[in-house]
Structure 1
């Protein structure tokens, strides 16, 4: 290696090593966390409709 490049190798090596250091950042989200409960509400509605149909079929069993 030529002697003229020798003074540049140490700063270049330090720059490369500084770029590889791990960084951990902890930050709060900008928007609040929302929980979507539509699935549960839909499930309850389907169960209620299903029960009403069962009751109707029990009352009018001669239809089928």
Structure 2
């Protein structure tokens, strides 16, 4: 009975250990961001042409 109690107590003592270690290499986060201004540029050019063709609308 004593041996069983020591076995349970020993397993509880070692089962609760948590080890947290920092990684050896730095964490790398890769972000692929692609911003295109082509659409705005085309719209601006289109608007300029429309204003030149129809100056009375403004």
What is the TM-score when the length of structure 1 is the normalising length? Answer: 0.53
Task: Flag as ranges the 4+ runs of structure 1 deviating above 3 A.
Answer: none
Q: Cα RMSD over matched residues?
A: 2.8
- Tell me which of the two structures has the higher relative contact order, counting C-alpha pairs closer than 8 angstroms and 6 or more residues apart: 2
- Structure 2 unpaired stretches of 5+: none
Query: Between Structure 1 and Structure 2, how many residues are aligned?
Result: 55
Q: Deviations over 1:19-57 (max 9, x none)?
A: 222221222368x5322111xx23x22322222222122
- Structure 1 unpaired stretches of 5+: none
What is the TM-score when the length of structure 2 is the normalising length? Answer: 0.55
